[in-house]
Structure formats: C-alpha cells, structure tokens
Structure 1
Amino acid sequence: ATTPAKATTPAKATTPAKAATPAKAATPAKEEEKKAVEDPKKRKTEEKGEEPPKKEAKKEDAAKAKKEDDSEEKNAPPEKRPTIKEEVSFIPSDTTLNVVPSAGGKLLMAMTEGGMQYLIAGARANMGLKAGRYMYEVKIVEALNPAESSGGQRGRVPMPRQLVRLGFSTKDSTPLLGDSNDAAYFDSEGFYVTAKNKKVQAAERFTRDQVIAVVLNLDPASPNVNTISLFREGERISKPQALPEHLIGKTLYPHVAFRSVTVQMLFGPQPAKALPFTCRMVQGAAQADVVVTAPPKPDAKFDVVLPVGLPDEGTFEWLDGFLEKNPHYTELSDRKIQEWATASGLVKPRSTGPTTSNDKPLFNYGLPGMDDGSIRRIVYAMASVVPRHYLIMEVKSNLVAAERQEMLKKFSLP
C-alpha cells in the first residue's frame, strides 16, 4: 500500500519554496553595503544621526549672519532726556470696529460673530516715532477656531484662518494694516510687506505663546538706520528690512492687525524678552522722539451724519469727496463692508443685475454669516457703542424721515 507514499504531489508542490524571491532580495542590502564601502563618510554621518555637512554649513552660516546683524546693533545708552508720561494705548478712531480691547487696552480681541470671523481687525497706537531706535512686543495668547454654519452654499474662506501682522504705519493709513501703502509690517507667515502687492519672505514664522519683538531703527548713527527687524523669544528671526522710500522721514506708529486670535500688547518700559542688545521700548521713549495723539475727552460729543440725496445722482461720488476733506468720519455702508471683506481676503462677489447698486450691492460670498445680513447687523451694533464720528450712507433709507429717525435711535447712548 505504497499509494500514499507515491502521492508526493504535496511534497513536489515546492513552487513557493522555489520562489525564493525574498532570499534573492538581498541585492539591495549588498548594494547598500557596497555604497557604504564606497562612501564611508556618508555612512558614518547616517550612523551618528548627524545632518549632512551642507545642512550644517547652512545653519552655521545663518547663525553667523544673525550674530553679525546683532553685532552691528549697539546697546542703547541710558536716556538722559525727559521721557513720555502718556500711556501708549489705542484710540477708538484708530481701530477697526471689530476690535474689542480689554485689560486697559493691553489685550486685543476680535469679534467672531455673524461673519466677523472672516474680517481682519486692526489697531494703531497713539504714539508715533520720528527718531531713535525703539521696540514693542506682542504675544499671541489665544488662537480661535470659530464655528461655521453649514447651511447654504459653501464659499471660499480667506486663508490663513489665524494671522497676525506687526509693523508701523503713518497717521494717514487706515486702521486695517495692509489696506494702503502707508505701512510696513511682518506677518505670522514670515513675509515682509511694504505695499498692497509687494511682499518678500524675509523672516521665520511665529505662532502662539511666543513673545515677538518689532524693532524700528531711525537712528542715523546706526548702520541699520531706517529698517525694521523681527525677534522671537529674544532671538533675531529676520535681517533688518529697509523701510520703503516714501516712509522715510515720516512719523511711524506701532500697528497690529490680526484675525481669529487674541494678542497681548507689550509696550514696556521693560521688555518681556531681552534682545541680544539693549533697546528701549516705546513706553520709555524720549519726548523729543515721539508724537502723541491726544485721546478724545471724556465728555466729547460725536456726530452721526445721514446725507440725503437722490438715487443715481452721484451720491457716492459726493461721499468720496466729503471723506477726503473730512477723514475723521467713519463710513457705514454696504459698500464699505465689502471693501473691508476684500481687504481681508474674501473674493468680491459679482454685482450684476437690475437689483444691484452702490447703495445695495449683492452679498453672495457663499458664506452664511456674510450673505444673511448678520455682518451688517454686527457692524451697526458695534458702531453704536464705539465713540467716533460716523457717516451713514444708505441712499434709500436716508430719504425716508421715519427710517432716519429709526437709525438715529441706535446712537442714543451717551
């Protein structure tokens, strides 16, 4: 009964064994061994977990460059001149309507309700610098991720969601940093921006829980005169960046802009993080080096203007001329809200059709907070409690006496 013994088919089924591909797959190992023999330096580097010599050289060069930049900056001598007694702060007229200051103006938050989460907030300090070398610090203490409604069509959200811009601007610039050419700033992505469409990658990125210092150098005795530099946790993260020609010689004010974050403003007189060299802060500036913007008096009165004009008779052209001559007025209109949205990175919707006009442009961003009228409601709610001069351009509503009275009731607070 040798039939079972002859039934050696299972034993002959050695195809898997013959498929010795895994055994033959030793070629890569041999190749690696061969390469290691050919390039022992590289093998030694990999075994030690070290970076290639080229990368090490780049890091050493970068560190050397930073030290050279800092060595050019001399320690500030003791200030013998009278220093400012006014507190560095933010005046309501120099901020956007969505800025919510707290802790005596040292903590700045931005509203995130009703479409405000998409708009950039901006604030310019009341202390302008015209000479010397000074710095201020900012710390991102909170990064927000506002909830978004899922209803309706999904539009394009401006990116990045959280952003911070730190720099300086002139008194004539808009509170929204980056909306004009009268400013120079760094952003949290590492770009240095000197105009609307002019930016270069000039710094390392910064984020939450880091103390960021911005140094403005207007000292003619310094090799880095007319430059701005950025520091993170006391260490330089950018080379000194030249101010644009049209800003040289002008008084420059500390300016910050942000979205979906809360920032802590540190003006001194002592720094939170010391730099490689001694640098005075804005709060310790000499009186001769600064220009102070006086805050409004506690009993100051503010105007609310509602122009009355006929539709399609040049009302908005008249408005542009009036605001040019009276820049202390803040325009409240649907047109202005859309300009703010565009400056914040939202794509302006097409305004075509018989129902659209300058007075009532279409809000079709594809974002519920922008399209359902919430953004307009929040803007007027904030305007009623922020003390400043307003000009409300609602052509149709301003023509009707009852609607004018209803609008003025919103501004009845002292």
Structure 2
Amino acid sequence: MASTKHEPPKAAEPESKRVKLSVPDSSPSEAKQRVVLNPADCNLDFNVEGNGLQGHALYEKGFAYCWSGARANLGITGGKYCFGCKIVSAQPVDMEDTPSDQQHVSRVGISRGDDAVGNLGETEHSYGFGGTGKFSNAGKFTDYGTKFGVGDTIVCAVNLENHPLAFVGFSKNGQWLGTAKQFDAGPKGLGVVNSPLRKLEWESALFPHILLKNVVVQLQFCSEDGLIPQEGYKTWASALEDGNGIMGPSFSSPKECEVLMMVGLPASGKTTWAEKWVKEHPEKCYILLGTNLALDQMKVPGLLRKQNYGERFERLMDQATGIFNTLLSRAAKTPRNYILDQTNVYKSARKRKLKPFVNYRKIAVVIFPRPEELKFRAEKRFKEMGKEVPAEAVNEMLANYVLPMSKDMRGSDEFFDEVMFPELNRADSEKHLDDMKRAMRAGSISNSRSNLSSYSHDSSVHTYSSPPMLNQEALPAIRGCWQNSHLPLPQPSYDHLRPREVHSAYPGAGIHGTPGGYRSGSSDFIPSFPRDGSYGTDMNYARSPLPRDGGNDLFSRVDPYYSPNLGNMGSYRPHAGSPRAPFSYNSSGRYLGEPPSPSASLASRGPPLSLQGSHYGTPEPRPPLSYRDSPMSDWRHSGGYPPHSGGYPPPGRRY
C-alpha cells in the first residue's frame, strides 16, 4: 500500500514541538534513503552506532538489569519483507544474583509504530522471538524454535499478503523455524493493511523492532548489509521502492522539541496529570522522566511495586535511582520531548535542571490544588500506596516553594517560555501558598516537635517502619500543615544513627501493615542487588535522583559535544564513595548541629560495585551538602549513602 505525503500542520496549530514526519514518495532521492535503526524511536539508554546498523544499551550497574529497545526508521503496510539481526557480542556485567541464561538476552520482531519501544512482545500490537526460545505477543509467551545467542543470526519474515490472516516467522542461521503467529493486519486488527492512514502515518505501519539486555547486535535490512533474504521474501529496504514503506518519527534539532517541568508539592497530582497528558498527545512521543521509567525498563511488574517485597526490592530501587540520574544527564543531548516529573519547587533547582535544554521550548506545569484537596490526595495515596515523608521534609519544600515565572514576566530570571496552571490559577495558587507558609511558620513556633506527614515524596520508595506505637490518636490538621496519626516525635539527628536506628526513627508505616512476602504468578525474575549504593543516591524522602545546586552539578560534567543514542559515551570513571557529612537544619524550630557519633560513616557497608570492561559511566557523586543547600527536589543524605534497613517495607506500597 503506497503511503501519502504528510501535510504540514495547520497554521492555527502550535508550531512546535511535534514529531517531524518523513514519508517517502516516488522520487529517486527518497528511494535511495537508507534503512537504519532510528535514534528518535528507541529507549533513552540505547545507543545507535555502526552507520546506523549496530545497537546496544548501557549496561553499567543498574542498567545491567534493564531491557532497552529500538525500532528501525522504516515500517511496512503491505507485501512480504524480511530483515536480519546478528547477535555480535555480550556486554560484560556483574550479575551473580541472576541466572546466567538471563544475563545476556535479546528479542527480535515487529511492532506497530505507536507501541511502547521497550515492550516488544508484551503488547497486543507487537510480536517478538526471544533468545530463550520463546515467542511472545500481548505478554503471552509460548515455546518456539530454539534458543539463540552470540554469533547467531535471526531473520524475521513478515507476510502481509496472506489472506485472511497475515503472519510472522523466523529463521535461525538460515534454518526456517516456521510460522510463529498469525494475525489480522486489516482494519479490524492492526490496521496496517488496506486501512486508512492515521493522523500520524507511522502509527499505521509495522516496524522492525529489537529489545536487548546486555548484548550488541548488528541489523541487516538489505543485501549490502549482509542480509540473506528468506525464500519468497524481499529485503526490508525494498519496501521503499515498492511503495509499501512509511518512515518513522524523527527530530531535526532540539528546536523541534519541548520539555515540560512538573511543579508541585508531593501528592499534588503531578504524575497523574503527566501520564494523562502523554496519552492525550501521542504525536509528541513524550518521554516521562521519573522513577517509574527505570522500573519499567527493569520489567518490574506493576503489582510488585505495590506489594511488600522486602530488602531485595529496596536494593532494586537504589539501582533505579542511579538509572534515573544517568537518563536525565542524557536527555538534553537527545532531541526528544520530555516531561520532568518531580516536585521542582525550588527555583534554583529548576534553573539548574533546565540549563542544558538550551534550544528546547520549556514549559512549567504547576499542579496546585486547594489545601483541603491536597490533604485529601495525600491521605488517599498513603492509604493506597503506603508511602510517606516526614512533615519536616514537606515543610522545607513548602517554605522554599516559589511559583515559576515565564521569561517574559517582569522580574523573571527563569527559562520558561510558558507556565501552565491546570488547577488553581496563578493568583489563587499564590494566595494559598502564602497562607500555607504563614500557617507553617505559626506551627513551627507553637510546636517545637516535628510531626509526621501523610505525604509521599515523588521519589520516595522507602517507608521507615518500627513496632506499633501505643496511644495513637489522630492529630488535627493545622491550616495547611498536615500531620500523621502518630504521636509527635523529637527531631532526629540522622547521621549518628546506625542503619536500623534510622529506620526506627520514623514509626509511620509499621502500624499500617505487617511484613509479608510478595507472591505472584509472574515469572519475571527480580534481581537481588548488592547492598552498596553504587550510584551514591537512593530513593526515599532523604534520597535524591537529582544532583544538588552548585557549580559542579550533574550537567556541568557532561561533555557538551557528547551525543547519546548516536555514538559512544565518555569514558567511564568508577564511582568512589564519599565521606558522610553531617545534617543541618535551617527552618524555624529545627535542630542545628553536627551528629555526635562517627558511626555515620557506615563502615559496615561494602564498597561500591565497580564493573570492568565498559566505557559507559554514571554521574560522579555529589560533594557533601546540607539540607540548607539542597533544592529539596528530593532529599538525600548529604554524603550520598543513606543507610539501609534490614526489615521489610509495609504492604500496599506503590512505586
């Protein structure tokens, strides 16, 4: 089926930041366009090299547990075509907790252009053949063919001419393995054959798709690439000449892209709004940068995120923080549309994070519900997910909360081209924010003891538990400063506490549930990570997936000429543990001083994991900082290594 040319957007529509479509026509120049892996249609940790034909992902530390996917830049809407994928090599990883046959694996297949690039074979519109000898579609795995690995070449053949059902099959090293799956490719099925083109034309085509875990692959789309076509099938690249090809999405430059920065207190509804926005604007192919992104790539089941899984899951979350850090550092150098889903209430933190996105259109999205609604959402999420943050953390953010301003506003020194207020408008938000700050200051003067909050920080995944407390009574809400149902506790001095003492300093979650094991019929393997905080950041209210403000922040260390997804990253420098630094507090009624005990160095922790053989790295540890210097986007221990608990998180938690 021949594709039609893409019509330019109407003048009334916003000029920007939509995906640029390139659709082939019959001209000779278009017919000669190469088929390669698409840097604009892959996971953020995926690198496209080798003249566009070689692909692999980051594999240091937590990335070793991640799957990373990519699609080719040409999809088909008819005909019989095939492409090849050779498993070139395995990447060196340290995964003693993972069975050897699950350390270096890959999946080869096809998917419709609008499918999630990291979910090959796990959605209704994608079909994949895995190295474990399994074929998958819509998350259902069945035995098919044989296992494959390094040195093997898999050819994927797609027959869209067969009626009434199309089918996909594979060969291994020239041996045909048979039909893997029949499917309806017509209007009532995938909608790619004899079907009207969608508004985004690449949503109406099937694309070559690979999903990798610690392997390097070489793709073959034509004879020049080394492809030996399956008998009866044409090379994938010939679909251009046949008029059966549609080009995938592409970005020409960062000027074609935008970054949305969510702004709001914990539990205000930022993630809910962002996820809805992504679904409503598929044409922009947003990447939602939050901690869930790392979990998705680790293939952690959603149910598992809500259940009590104990220490192994805590360690997994530690690794997820480091993954998030690295992805954020790559984002500004990879032209895409992004949503930064964190609190971002500090103006200094917003400016630091946005500084690398020089040519992007930058939009702030302020989620500010009425205080009573905010309290309701916080309590609701606590009941459903079992996450909380101490009130002093929320109050610190509240005290430093500055509503963002667009750069055309008088007195503004921020970078935003636009500021959106989906709930309360600016005037109402400003009024309620001022009222909440006054109430907080009044509460600090009248009550010298800090209370726990029902809030859960954006990146919080650890709830500190201890034996149930006696005489628990609900405490009244004080004009916008919410308290937990636990009795007030003295302000803790974290750094002098041993790991288990730190966790017992906050008794909140322990009374909401009892420890228990996670049980599921899922066959997904969940790794047990080393206890060391390899990245220097962890993910509770005292841990930060983002660097602190300062001249040597994360982005200032990124090579401005480095281009992720299109070549090698800079040389890897092993992470070195930084000494623990004392906490200090600068809010009214807060404890100020240094911890009295040297045990805060946590000498019992093992050294950071250092993997050999890779030129991919992660950001270096931040220098010690106090809360006074912290933008409070997420709190962490100033030395970068918060202690771990030996206990189990409560049930009902959602990550």
Is TM more than 0.5 here? yes
Helix, strand or coil: the match of 2:275? helix
Per-residue Cα deviation, 1:265-286 (whole angstroms, up to 9, x for no partner)? 1111457363562421111223
Match of 1:192 among 135, 155, 161: 135
* Contact 1:107–1:264 (8 Å) recurs in 2: yes
Query: Residues 308 and 242 from structure 1, CA distance in 2 versus in 1: closer, same or farther, beyond 3 angstroms?
Result: same
Q: Tell me what 1:405 maps to.
A: 351
TM-superposed deviation, 1:368? 7.1
Matches within 5 A, 1:254-269: 254-269=208-223
* Contact 1:349–1:364 (8 Å) recurs in 2: no
Provide the rounded CA distance (Å) in 2 between the counterparts of 1:313 and 1:400.
Answer: 16
Ranges in structure 2 where 5+ consecutive residues have no aligned partner: 1-25, 194-203, 359-559, 562-655
Q: Tell me what 1:320 maps to.
A: 275
Q: Tell me what 2:150 maps to.
A: 208
Q: Tell me what 1:251 maps to.
A: 205
Provide the rounded CA distance (Å) in 1 between the counterparts of 2:324 and 2:280.
Answer: 26
TM-score, normalised via structure 2 length: 0.44
Residue 241, structure 1, aligned to residue 181, structure 2? yes
Helix, strand or coil: the match of 1:342? coil
Provide the rounded CA distance (Å) in 1 between the counterparts of 2:40 and 2:312.
Answer: 30
Provide the rounded CA distance (Å) in 2 between the counterparts of 1:106 and 1:190.
Answer: 24
Between Structure 1 and Structure 2, how many residues are aligned? 315
Match of 1:141 among 69, 77, 88: 88
Matches within 5 A, 1:9-408: 84-147=31-94, 160-176=102-118, 177-196=120-139, 198-220=140-162, 226-243=166-183, 246-247=189-190, 249=193, 251-269=205-223, 272=226, 274=228, 277-285=231-239, 286-293=241-248, 295-298=250-253, 300-327=255-282, 328-342=285-299, 348-349=304-305, 365=313, 367=315, 370-371=318-319, 373-395=321-343, 398-408=344-354
TM-superposed deviation, 1:224? 9.4
Provide the rounded CA distance (Å) in 2 between the counterparts of 1:264 and 1:242.
Answer: 27
Provide the rounded CA distance (Å) in 2 between the counterparts of 1:268 and 1:371.
Answer: 39
Letter in 2 for 1:108: G
Query: Residues 281 and 122 from structure 1, CA distance in 2 versus in 1: closer, same or farther, beyond 3 angstroms?
Result: same
Higher relative helix content: 1
Letter in 1 for 2:269: G
Query: Residues 105 and 365 from structure 1, CA distance in 2 versus in 1: closer, same or farther, beyond 3 angstroms?
Result: farther
* Contact 2:55–2:217 (8 Å) recurs in 1: yes
Letter in 2 for 1:400: Y
Percent identity between matched residues is 21
Per-residue Cα deviation, 1:23-49 (whole angstroms, up to 9, x for no partner)? xxxxxxxxxxxxxxxxxxxxxxxxxxx
* Contact 2:160–2:167 (8 Å) recurs in 1: yes
Query: Residues 350 and 317 from structure 1, CA distance in 2 versus in 1: closer, same or farther, beyond 3 angstroms?
Result: closer
TM-superposed deviation, 1:168? 0.8
Per-residue Cα deviation, 1:93-119 (whole angstroms, up to 9, x for no partner)? 310011111112111011112311110
Provide the rounded CA distance (Å) in 2 between the counterparts of 1:377 and 1:254.
Answer: 29
Provide the rounded CA distance (Å) in 1 between the counterparts of 2:108 and 2:311.
Answer: 31
TM-superposed deviation, 1:349? 4.9
Query: Residues 339 and 368 from structure 1, CA distance in 2 versus in 1: closer, same or farther, beyond 3 angstroms?
Result: closer
TM-score, normalised via structure 1 length: 0.68
Provide the rounded CA distance (Å) in 2 between the counterparts of 1:338 and 1:137.
Answer: 30
Return the index of the structure with the highest Cα Rg.
1
Higher relative strand content: 1
Provide the rounded CA distance (Å) in 2 between the counterparts of 1:273 and 1:402.
Answer: 53
Letter in 1 for 2:206: L
Query: Residues 106 and 214 from structure 1, CA distance in 2 versus in 1: closer, same or farther, beyond 3 angstroms?
Result: same
TM-superposed deviation, 1:201? 0.9
Ranges in structure 1 where 5+ consecutive residues have no aligned partner: 1-79, 353-361
